[in-house]
Amino acid sequence: MPELELLRFYVLWFTFYTMDMEPITLLKNKRILLGVTGSIACYKAVDLASKLTQAGALVDVIVTSAAAKFVSPLTFRSVTGRPVFDDMWRLDGHVRHVGLGETADLLLIAPATAHTIAKLALGLADNLLTTTALAARCPVMAAPAMDGGMYQHPATQANVATLRQRGVLLAGPVEGRMASGLSGLGRMMEPSDLFGHVRLALARTGVLNGRHVVVTAGPTREALDPVRFISNRSTGRQGLAVAQAALDAGARVTLIAGPVHQPIPIGAEHIAVTTTQEMADAVCEAVVDADALFMVAAVADFRPETRADQKIKKTDQAWGLAIGLEKTLDILSAVKEQREKTGFPRVTLGFAAETQDAFEYGRHKLLRKGLNYIAVNDVTAAGAGFGVDTNRIALLSSAGLVEEMPLQSKTAVAERLVHYVAKTLNSR
Ligand code: CTP
């Protein structure tokens, strides 16, 4: 049958197209119940189910009969590899909702139509999804999707407020073009953003729950003139991975980042900076109540003594070819002084990017900058350092070597670093 062939082709294409995720520790074997209700945004729920599955979650999908008209249950089954539940009551139908609701780590309803939101607000239970929502003992999250001003209607607003009051987590909706061609607030949040919200919901019981963590990432830049600057090759990957790992551990994260080339993790408070001085000011302010500081940024150590107001011309003899440089502020040394007076941040971790005698230089930096930990990496080693997805780190404390880590992904490195800092914090 041509339709079935077409569907198979679509599912295969979709599976390969979205094969871009690596397993995520937080999501591994987590049971996510994905409730899908009847909206054109159902096709985005397929992408979300695929992303969650690739990240290691066990995704059980419940489709309402309206949702099944937009996307076939077979499509969900193909991306999750697990049974899909619909409204067809079978022999065990009378207890299925209890089983699903009790074993899940999160019930995520995406897309959530105005109608389902209204039913949830009233506690109506007329299909498998709404009965399961009543039986659920896990956190519930809804991603509203609706068209033509329906979200702003007082009835919907009252229902959303009721759900929020009851502790339901609302993700979106967002502004944009809707199926009717109208623009406004009502689009379902994009799957990649929803994915970040799922992580936040699952992280709430993590080892850094209730902690404030400050992370710096990326390079800083020092301007020579309005178009040129001095900087370094950092892309921010390791710092962003540390911010994400701290979020996954349940922390409130302030991310102070120079110009980075990757998306900012969902849930981090992002402070964008350019120069070393701007980063220093932001860090000193953010750490006043911080439990931990991860100083991952590759900070520019020098800046031009003078900054030209206009673009420097090749023919401008006054400038010649020499550029006078002066040292920038050492941010960790400033933090050390502040910490000696206030006790904050409680725990500090720095990085040492070295090209020779990495251990020896690392140990000196740890002592000079008054750190609890230093993550030493030889940036010239294969697969380590700037612009790659992997890193090879040796973690030192004032007592000596803590762990010499193998070459691994920056995500795995970040999780190890967060583990040690959390252990130090929680042992006090
Ligand atoms: N760092 C800082 N302020 C600076 C420079 C670096 O706080 N002006 C921090 C980095 O974020 C890192 C640690 O200090 O956590 C070590 O950085 P690194 O570049 O390895 O060492 P430097 O202190 O700059 O010393 P050197 O360049 O001489 O190796």
With a 6 Å cutoff on the Cβ, whether 365 touches ligand 1 is yes
Q: Whose CA is nearest to atom 4 of ligand 1?
A: 330
User: Which band of pLDDT confidence, cut at 50, 70 and 90, is reported for residue 245?
Assistant: very high
Band of the pLDDT at 313, cuts 50, 70, 90?
A: confident
Q: Which residues are catalytic?
A: 232
Residue 97 CA to ligand 1 centre (angstroms): 55
Residues with Cβ within 8 Å of 85's Cβ and at least 6 positions away in sequence, in order, are 60, 61, 62, 63, 96, 100, 128
Among the listed residues 416, 425, 403, the one whose alpha carbon sits nearest the alpha carbon of residue 248: 416
Averaged pLDDT, 403-413: 94
- Look at 42 and 359; give whichever has higher pLDDT: 42
Domain 212-426 has CATH 3.40.50.10300: yes
Alpha helices in 251-376, H assignment, sequence order: 276-286, 331-342, 358-368
pTM over cut 0.85 = yes
**Cα of 264 from ligand 1 centre, angstroms:** 23
Where do the structural domains in the chain lie, given as residue ranges?
3-202, 212-426
Q: Work out the average pLDDT over 89-95.
A: 61
Q: How far apart are CA 237 and CA 265, in angstroms?
A: 11
Backbone angles phi, psi at 257, to 5 degrees: -130, 135
- What's residue 23's pLDDT? 85
Tell the residue number behind the tokens 């710096």, with chain if given.
216
331 CB less than 6 Å from ligand 1?
yes
Q: Which residue's alpha carbon is nearest to atom 9 within ligand 1?
A: 332
pLDDT of residue 162: 98
- pLDDT over 90 percentage in the chain: 79
> Using 50, 70 and 90 to split pLDDT, how confident is the model at 179?
confident
What value does the mean pLDDT take over residues 237-260?
A: 98
Band the pLDDT of 16: cuts 50, 70, 90.
Answer: very low
Q: Mean per-residue pLDDT for 335-360?
A: 93
What is the CA(337)–ligand 1 centre distance, in A? 16
Residue 163, pLDDT score: 98
- Long-range contacts of residues 262-268, Cβ cutoff 8 Å, at least 24 apart: 262/235, 262/236, 262/237, 263/192, 264/240, 265/196, 265/240, 266/193, 266/195, 266/196, 266/197, 266/199, 266/200, 267/196, 267/197, 267/199, 267/200, 268/215, 268/243, 268/244
- Identify the weakest region by mean pLDDT among 16-20, 175-179, 408-412, 424-428: 16-20
Neighbours of 421 (CB within 10 A): 29
pLDDT at 1 over 50: no
- Ligand 1 within 6 A of 254 CB? no
In this prediction, what percent of the chain has a pLDDT beyond 70?
91
Q: Does residue 180 have a pLDDT over 90?
A: no
pLDDT of 25-45, one tens digit each?
A: 999 999 999 999 999 999 999
pLDDT value for 132:
93
Among protein residues, the one with the nearest Cα to ligand 1's atom 18 is 352
Mean pLDDT, rounded, for 401-427 = 96
pLDDT band for position 378 (cuts 50, 70, 90):
confident
Alpha-carbon gap, residue 80 to 76, rounded angstroms: 6
pLDDT at site 20: 58
Asked whether the predicted pLDDT for residue 60 surpasses 80, the reply is yes
Q: How far is the CA of 331 from the centre of ligand 1 (A)?
A: 8
DSSP strands (E only) in 296-413: 302-304, 325-327, 347-354, 373-378, 390-391, 394-397, 400-404, 408-409
Mean pLDDT, the chain, rounded, equals 91
Question: How far is 342 from 208, CA to CA, in rounded Å?
Answer: 21
Residues 137-155 have pLDDT tens digits of 999 999 999 987 899 999 9
What value does the mean pLDDT take over residues 402-411?
94
Residue minimizing CA distance to atom 12 of ligand 1 = 351
Q: Do domains 3-202 and 212-426 have the same CATH topology?
A: yes
Any ligand 1 atom below 6 A from CB of 366:
no
Ligand 1 close to Cβ of residue 328 (< 6 A):
yes
Q: 283 CA to middle of ligand 1, Å?
A: 14
pLDDT confidence of residue 14: 52
- DSSP label at 289? G
Does the C-beta of 353 come closer than 6 Å to ligand 1? yes
Q: Is domain 3-202 given the CATH code 3.40.50.1950 in the classification? A: yes
Nearest residue (CA) to ligand 1, atom 6: 299
pLDDT at 109 over 90: yes
